[in-house]
Amino acid sequence: MEQTELENLSFEEALTKLETIVRELEGGRIKLDDAVSAYEKAITLKKFCEERLKNAELKIEKLEISANGEVSTQPLDKIEE
C-alpha cells in the first residue's frame, strides 16, 4: 500500500479495509500470493490505525478550572474516576 494512499484515508476507512482483509484471510479461499500481499497490506493498515489512535490519544486532555478561575489541562489518562 502506497503512503499517499494511506494519507488520504480516514481512520474509519483504514479500519474497514483492514477488517475486510482479515475476513478474506480467515476465509481461506484466497490464493497464496494474494494472501501474502493482503497480509502485507493489513500490517501497513494496522500500523496506520495504531498511529492515528496514538495521535488522537495525545490530543485528548481534561480541562480543569482552579478556584481562582485559571484554566489548565491534564492528560486524560491522569483523570481519576
Q: At what angle do helices 32-59 and 11-27 cross, to 10 degrees?
A: 150
- Grid coordinates representing 49 are 490505525
pTM above 0.85, yes or no: no
pLDDT in tens, 13-57: 999 999 999 999 999 989 999 999 999 999 999 999 999 998 887
Give me the residue spans of the domains in the chain: 3-78
